[in-house]
Amino acid sequence: MDKRQAEKLREEKRRKRRNKKIKGYTMMAVCAVILVALIVFAVKGVIGFVAGSESDIDASSTVISSDVNSESSSDDTSSDEDVSSDEGTENPDNSSDESSSEETPDSEEPENNPANTTPVGEKPQQSWSTMLVNQWSYMPEGYVPEVRPIVYEGVSPLNNQFDVRAAEALENMLADARAAGYNMYLVSAYRSHDYQVNLFNRKVNEYKALGYDDTEAYNQASQWVAIPGTSEHCTGLAADIVSSTWYNYNSDLTHDFEETEHFDWLYSHCADYGFILRYPKNREATTGITYEPWHYRYVGTEAARYIMDNNITLEEFCAE
Ligand SMILES: [Zn+2]
Protein backbone atom coordinates (compact mmCIF):
# COMPACT_ATOMS: atom_id res chain seq x y z
CA MET A 1 0.00 0.00 0.00
CA ASP A 2 1.55 3.30 -0.99
CA LYS A 3 1.36 6.56 0.91
CA ARG A 4 -1.49 7.94 -1.11
CA GLN A 5 -3.66 4.93 -0.60
CA ALA A 6 -2.95 4.99 3.13
CA GLU A 7 -3.84 8.69 3.26
CA LYS A 8 -7.09 7.99 1.37
CA LEU A 9 -8.01 5.23 3.77
CA ARG A 10 -7.40 7.46 6.80
CA GLU A 11 -9.41 10.20 5.15
CA GLU A 12 -12.22 7.72 4.50
CA LYS A 13 -12.15 6.57 8.14
CA ARG A 14 -12.26 10.19 9.40
CA ARG A 15 -15.20 10.89 7.12
CA LYS A 16 -17.05 7.83 8.42
CA ARG A 17 -16.36 8.87 12.03
CA ARG A 18 -17.64 12.38 11.28
CA ASN A 19 -20.78 10.96 9.68
CA LYS A 20 -21.27 8.67 12.63
CA LYS A 21 -20.94 11.61 15.02
CA ILE A 22 -23.36 13.74 13.01
CA LYS A 23 -25.82 10.86 12.90
CA GLY A 24 -25.44 10.46 16.66
CA TYR A 25 -26.05 14.17 17.29
CA THR A 26 -29.05 14.15 14.98
CA MET A 27 -30.51 11.16 16.75
CA MET A 28 -29.96 12.83 20.11
CA ALA A 29 -31.61 16.01 18.90
CA VAL A 30 -34.59 14.10 17.51
CA CYS A 31 -34.93 12.18 20.76
CA ALA A 32 -34.73 15.40 22.75
CA VAL A 33 -37.47 16.98 20.64
CA ILE A 34 -39.67 13.92 21.04
CA LEU A 35 -39.02 13.88 24.77
CA VAL A 36 -39.93 17.56 25.15
CA ALA A 37 -43.08 17.02 23.09
CA LEU A 38 -44.01 14.05 25.26
CA ILE A 39 -43.46 16.03 28.45
CA VAL A 40 -45.58 18.97 27.21
CA PHE A 41 -48.29 16.57 26.13
CA ALA A 42 -48.25 14.74 29.45
CA VAL A 43 -48.32 17.94 31.50
CA LYS A 44 -51.20 19.27 29.43
CA GLY A 45 -53.01 15.98 29.86
CA VAL A 46 -52.57 15.99 33.62
CA ILE A 47 -53.76 19.60 33.91
CA GLY A 48 -56.75 18.83 31.74
CA PHE A 49 -57.55 15.74 33.73
CA VAL A 50 -57.29 17.50 37.07
CA ALA A 51 -59.42 20.41 35.88
CA GLY A 52 -61.95 18.02 34.43
CA SER A 53 -62.25 15.91 37.51
CA GLU A 54 -62.54 18.97 39.72
CA SER A 55 -65.49 20.25 37.80
CA ASP A 56 -67.03 16.81 37.87
CA ILE A 57 -66.67 16.76 41.60
CA ASP A 58 -68.28 20.16 41.98
CA ALA A 59 -71.14 19.22 39.76
CA SER A 60 -71.80 15.94 41.42
CA SER A 61 -71.58 17.32 44.92
CA THR A 62 -74.28 19.86 44.10
CA VAL A 63 -76.51 17.23 42.63
CA ILE A 64 -76.08 14.84 45.49
CA SER A 65 -76.65 17.37 48.16
CA SER A 66 -79.76 18.72 46.52
CA ASP A 67 -81.51 15.45 47.16
CA VAL A 68 -79.74 14.60 50.26
CA ASN A 69 -80.42 17.40 52.61
CA SER A 70 -83.94 18.06 51.55
CA GLU A 71 -86.30 18.83 54.34
CA SER A 72 -88.53 16.06 53.42
CA SER A 73 -85.75 13.57 53.59
CA SER A 74 -84.76 14.85 56.95
CA ASP A 75 -88.03 13.78 58.33
CA ASP A 76 -88.24 10.30 57.12
CA THR A 77 -86.85 8.82 60.25
CA SER A 78 -89.20 10.68 62.46
CA SER A 79 -92.12 8.79 61.02
CA ASP A 80 -90.89 5.88 63.09
CA GLU A 81 -91.63 7.99 66.11
CA ASP A 82 -95.14 8.90 65.09
CA VAL A 83 -94.05 12.39 64.43
CA SER A 84 -96.17 14.32 61.97
CA SER A 85 -96.18 12.73 58.59
CA ASP A 86 -94.49 15.59 56.82
CA GLU A 87 -91.61 13.81 58.20
CA GLY A 88 -92.59 10.67 56.45
CA THR A 89 -91.98 12.45 53.20
CA GLU A 90 -88.62 11.15 52.96
CA ASN A 91 -89.57 7.95 51.53
CA PRO A 92 -86.51 7.14 49.45
CA ASP A 93 -88.66 5.74 46.64
CA ASN A 94 -90.56 8.95 46.35
CA SER A 95 -87.55 11.14 46.38
CA SER A 96 -85.76 9.28 43.67
CA ASP A 97 -88.85 9.13 41.47
CA GLU A 98 -89.54 12.76 41.93
CA SER A 99 -86.07 14.00 41.37
CA SER A 100 -85.69 12.04 38.18
CA SER A 101 -89.03 13.20 36.84
CA GLU A 102 -88.02 16.74 37.60
CA GLU A 103 -84.74 16.59 35.89
CA THR A 104 -86.31 15.94 32.53
CA PRO A 105 -88.12 19.23 31.90
CA ASP A 106 -84.89 21.17 31.68
CA SER A 107 -86.41 23.18 28.91
CA GLU A 108 -88.51 25.00 31.48
CA GLU A 109 -85.43 26.31 33.17
CA PRO A 110 -84.83 29.37 30.99
CA GLU A 111 -88.33 30.62 31.84
CA ASN A 112 -87.50 30.41 35.49
CA ASN A 113 -84.05 31.80 35.14
CA PRO A 114 -84.13 35.45 36.06
CA ALA A 115 -80.54 36.06 34.99
CA ASN A 116 -81.37 38.03 31.85
CA THR A 117 -84.32 40.01 33.12
CA THR A 118 -84.34 43.43 34.71
CA PRO A 119 -85.41 43.21 38.35
CA VAL A 120 -88.99 44.22 39.11
CA GLY A 121 -89.18 46.80 41.91
CA GLU A 122 -86.55 48.07 44.29
CA LYS A 123 -84.67 45.50 46.28
CA PRO A 124 -85.50 45.65 50.00
CA GLN A 125 -82.81 45.44 52.68
CA GLN A 126 -81.86 42.14 54.22
CA SER A 127 -82.96 41.61 57.81
CA TRP A 128 -83.53 38.96 60.48
CA SER A 129 -86.37 37.59 58.37
CA THR A 130 -84.17 36.93 55.34
CA MET A 131 -81.63 34.83 57.25
CA LEU A 132 -80.21 32.29 54.84
CA VAL A 133 -79.92 28.70 56.03
CA ASN A 134 -78.93 25.97 53.63
CA GLN A 135 -76.26 23.32 53.16
CA TRP A 136 -73.65 25.98 52.42
CA SER A 137 -74.77 28.48 55.04
CA TYR A 138 -75.35 26.95 58.46
CA MET A 139 -77.61 28.50 61.05
CA PRO A 140 -75.58 30.57 63.55
CA GLU A 141 -74.45 28.28 66.34
CA GLY A 142 -76.63 28.55 69.41
CA TYR A 143 -79.34 30.49 67.57
CA VAL A 144 -82.71 29.73 69.18
CA PRO A 145 -85.71 31.71 67.94
CA GLU A 146 -88.46 32.79 70.31
CA VAL A 147 -91.46 30.76 69.20
CA ARG A 148 -95.13 30.30 70.09
CA PRO A 149 -97.81 27.84 68.99
CA ILE A 150 -99.81 28.72 65.88
CA VAL A 151 -103.48 29.34 66.62
CA TYR A 152 -105.47 27.70 63.85
CA GLU A 153 -107.77 24.70 63.53
CA GLY A 154 -105.68 22.30 61.53
CA VAL A 155 -102.19 22.17 62.90
CA SER A 156 -99.99 19.16 63.52
CA PRO A 157 -99.77 18.18 67.20
CA LEU A 158 -95.98 18.37 66.91
CA ASN A 159 -93.69 21.06 65.53
CA ASN A 160 -96.54 23.58 65.34
CA GLN A 161 -94.70 26.61 66.75
CA PHE A 162 -93.40 29.61 64.82
CA ASP A 163 -91.14 32.63 65.36
CA VAL A 164 -93.18 35.11 67.43
CA ARG A 165 -92.38 37.91 64.97
CA ALA A 166 -93.95 36.02 62.07
CA ALA A 167 -96.58 33.84 63.76
CA GLU A 168 -99.43 36.28 63.18
CA ALA A 169 -98.61 36.52 59.47
CA LEU A 170 -98.85 32.74 59.21
CA GLU A 171 -102.13 32.68 61.14
CA ASN A 172 -103.56 35.39 58.88
CA MET A 173 -102.54 33.51 55.76
CA LEU A 174 -104.13 30.27 56.99
CA ALA A 175 -107.31 32.06 58.14
CA ASP A 176 -107.71 34.01 54.88
CA ALA A 177 -107.18 30.87 52.85
CA ARG A 178 -109.95 29.17 54.83
CA ALA A 179 -112.24 32.18 54.36
CA ALA A 180 -111.62 31.93 50.61
CA GLY A 181 -112.68 28.27 50.70
CA TYR A 182 -109.28 26.63 50.97
CA ASN A 183 -108.81 24.67 54.18
CA MET A 184 -105.14 24.27 54.90
CA TYR A 185 -103.24 21.99 57.25
CA LEU A 186 -99.99 23.02 58.93
CA VAL A 187 -97.90 19.87 58.76
CA SER A 188 -94.69 21.10 60.33
CA ALA A 189 -93.22 24.44 61.40
CA TYR A 190 -90.49 25.02 63.99
CA ARG A 191 -88.21 22.14 64.87
CA SER A 192 -85.63 22.61 67.59
CA HIS A 193 -81.96 22.12 66.93
CA ASP A 194 -81.95 19.29 69.50
CA TYR A 195 -84.77 17.58 67.68
CA GLN A 196 -82.73 17.69 64.48
CA VAL A 197 -79.58 16.52 66.28
CA ASN A 198 -81.48 13.57 67.77
CA LEU A 199 -82.88 12.61 64.40
CA PHE A 200 -79.45 12.79 62.85
CA ASN A 201 -77.63 10.90 65.60
CA ARG A 202 -80.20 8.17 65.57
CA LYS A 203 -79.65 7.68 61.87
CA VAL A 204 -75.86 7.66 62.33
CA ASN A 205 -76.22 4.97 65.01
CA GLU A 206 -78.40 2.87 62.73
CA TYR A 207 -75.58 2.81 60.20
CA LYS A 208 -72.95 2.12 62.84
CA ALA A 209 -75.01 -0.86 63.97
CA LEU A 210 -74.79 -2.12 60.38
CA GLY A 211 -70.99 -2.06 60.63
CA TYR A 212 -70.17 1.32 59.05
CA ASP A 213 -67.30 3.29 60.59
CA ASP A 214 -67.88 6.81 61.97
CA THR A 215 -67.24 8.67 58.71
CA GLU A 216 -69.22 6.28 56.55
CA ALA A 217 -72.11 6.29 59.01
CA TYR A 218 -72.13 10.11 59.01
CA ASN A 219 -72.13 10.26 55.22
CA GLN A 220 -74.87 7.68 54.91
CA ALA A 221 -77.02 9.40 57.54
CA SER A 222 -76.68 12.74 55.77
CA GLN A 223 -78.33 11.14 52.75
CA TRP A 224 -81.56 10.89 54.73
CA VAL A 225 -81.54 13.41 57.53
CA ALA A 226 -80.59 17.08 57.23
CA ILE A 227 -77.26 17.73 58.90
CA PRO A 228 -77.96 19.72 62.08
CA GLY A 229 -77.64 23.42 61.32
CA THR A 230 -78.86 23.13 57.73
CA SER A 231 -82.58 22.58 58.28
CA GLU A 232 -84.57 25.75 57.64
CA HIS A 233 -87.31 24.56 60.00
CA CYS A 234 -84.94 25.28 62.90
CA THR A 235 -85.18 29.02 62.14
CA GLY A 236 -88.85 29.03 63.17
CA LEU A 237 -89.63 30.77 59.86
CA ALA A 238 -90.50 27.78 57.67
CA ALA A 239 -93.84 26.01 57.40
CA ASP A 240 -94.99 22.95 55.49
CA ILE A 241 -98.57 23.60 54.39
CA VAL A 242 -100.96 21.45 52.36
CA SER A 243 -104.73 21.24 52.07
CA SER A 244 -106.60 19.37 54.80
CA THR A 245 -108.32 17.02 52.39
CA TRP A 246 -105.15 16.32 50.46
CA TYR A 247 -103.37 15.58 53.72
CA ASN A 248 -106.05 13.07 54.72
CA TYR A 249 -105.37 11.04 51.59
CA ASN A 250 -101.60 11.44 51.39
CA SER A 251 -99.45 10.23 54.22
CA ASP A 252 -96.31 11.65 52.59
CA LEU A 253 -95.69 15.09 51.19
CA THR A 254 -95.40 14.64 47.44
CA HIS A 255 -95.29 16.88 44.40
CA ASP A 256 -98.91 16.05 43.56
CA PHE A 257 -99.88 18.82 45.91
CA GLU A 258 -99.00 21.35 43.23
CA GLU A 259 -101.99 20.13 41.21
CA THR A 260 -104.48 21.34 43.83
CA GLU A 261 -106.31 24.68 43.92
CA HIS A 262 -104.98 25.05 47.42
CA PHE A 263 -101.48 25.20 46.06
CA ASP A 264 -102.53 27.79 43.49
CA TRP A 265 -104.00 29.95 46.25
CA LEU A 266 -100.89 29.66 48.41
CA TYR A 267 -98.55 30.34 45.51
CA SER A 268 -100.39 33.46 44.38
CA HIS A 269 -101.12 34.90 47.84
CA CYS A 270 -98.14 33.91 49.99
CA ALA A 271 -96.17 37.09 49.27
CA ASP A 272 -99.07 39.22 50.62
CA TYR A 273 -98.33 37.69 54.02
CA GLY A 274 -94.54 37.80 53.72
CA PHE A 275 -94.02 34.21 52.58
CA ILE A 276 -92.21 32.73 49.59
CA LEU A 277 -92.24 29.32 47.96
CA ARG A 278 -88.77 28.49 49.21
CA TYR A 279 -87.75 25.58 46.97
CA PRO A 280 -89.19 26.23 43.50
CA LYS A 281 -89.19 23.84 40.59
CA ASN A 282 -85.98 23.58 38.58
CA ARG A 283 -84.00 25.67 41.06
CA GLU A 284 -82.35 22.73 42.80
CA ALA A 285 -78.87 23.83 41.73
CA THR A 286 -79.34 27.13 43.56
CA THR A 287 -81.23 26.03 46.66
CA GLY A 288 -79.65 22.58 47.04
CA ILE A 289 -83.13 21.19 47.70
CA THR A 290 -85.56 19.45 45.38
CA TYR A 291 -88.88 21.09 44.51
CA GLU A 292 -91.18 21.36 47.54
CA PRO A 293 -94.59 22.85 46.70
CA TRP A 294 -95.57 22.68 50.40
CA HIS A 295 -92.62 24.48 51.99
CA TYR A 296 -93.15 28.22 52.64
CA ARG A 297 -90.67 30.55 54.27
CA TYR A 298 -91.38 33.85 56.00
CA VAL A 299 -89.06 36.62 54.78
CA GLY A 300 -91.27 39.71 55.36
CA THR A 301 -93.71 41.21 52.85
CA GLU A 302 -91.27 43.46 50.98
CA ALA A 303 -88.67 40.77 50.45
CA ALA A 304 -91.40 38.23 49.63
CA ARG A 305 -92.89 40.44 46.90
CA TYR A 306 -89.47 41.15 45.45
CA ILE A 307 -88.49 37.47 45.44
CA MET A 308 -91.79 36.18 44.03
CA ASP A 309 -92.15 39.00 41.44
CA ASN A 310 -88.63 38.44 40.19
CA ASN A 311 -88.92 34.68 40.34
CA ILE A 312 -85.67 34.32 42.28
CA THR A 313 -84.62 32.26 45.27
CA LEU A 314 -83.61 33.43 48.75
CA GLU A 315 -80.05 32.45 47.84
CA GLU A 316 -80.10 34.90 44.92
CA PHE A 317 -81.79 37.58 47.00
CA CYS A 318 -79.05 37.32 49.63
CA ALA A 319 -76.27 37.26 47.03
CA GLU A 320 -77.44 40.36 45.11
ZN1 LIG B 1 -90.36 21.94 55.03
Give residue-wise pLDDT tens across range 40-94. Answer: 445 444 443 433 332 322 333 332 232 233 334 333 333 333 233 334 333 333 3
Residue 230 CA to ligand 1 centre (angstroms): 12
* Domain that includes residue 211, residue range: 70-319
Under 8 Å between Cβ of 74 and 196: yes
Catalytic annotation present for 292? yes
**Calpha distance 108→98 (Å, rounded):** 16
Catalytic residue among 71, 98, 284, 292: 292
Do 9 and 140 belong to one domain? Answer: no
Do 312 and 183 belong to one domain? Answer: yes
Under 8 Å between Cβ of 200 and 219: no
Do 23 and 164 belong to one domain? Answer: no
Under 8 Å between Cβ of 293 and 257: yes
For 138-194, write each residue's pLDDT tens digit: 999 889 999 999 999 999 998 999 999 999 999 999 999 999 999 999 999 999 999
Percentage of the chain exceeding pLDDT 90 = 50
Do 97 and 241 belong to one domain? Answer: yes
Do 251 and 161 belong to one domain? Answer: yes
Do 56 and 86 belong to one domain? Answer: no
Do 215 and 124 belong to one domain? Answer: yes
pLDDT above 70 for 18? no
Do 227 and 240 belong to one domain? Answer: yes
Total domains in the chain come to: 2
Q: Which of 49, 68, 87 is the last residue of a domain?
A: 68
| Strands annotated E in the chain | 147-149, 161-163, 184-188, 238-243, 275-277, 295-298
Q: Which of 35, 68, 101 is the last residue of a domain?
A: 68
The reported pTM is 0.65
Residue 238 CA to ligand 1 centre (angstroms): 6
Res 248: pLDDT: 85
Phi/psi at 295 (nearest 5 deg)? -100, 115
Do 75 and 63 belong to one domain? Answer: no
Residue 289 CA to ligand 1 centre (angstroms): 10
> Which neighbouring-strand residues pair with 239?
296
Do 153 and 241 belong to one domain? Answer: yes
Residue 296 CA to ligand 1 centre (angstroms): 7
Which CATH number is 83's domain given? 3.30.1380.10
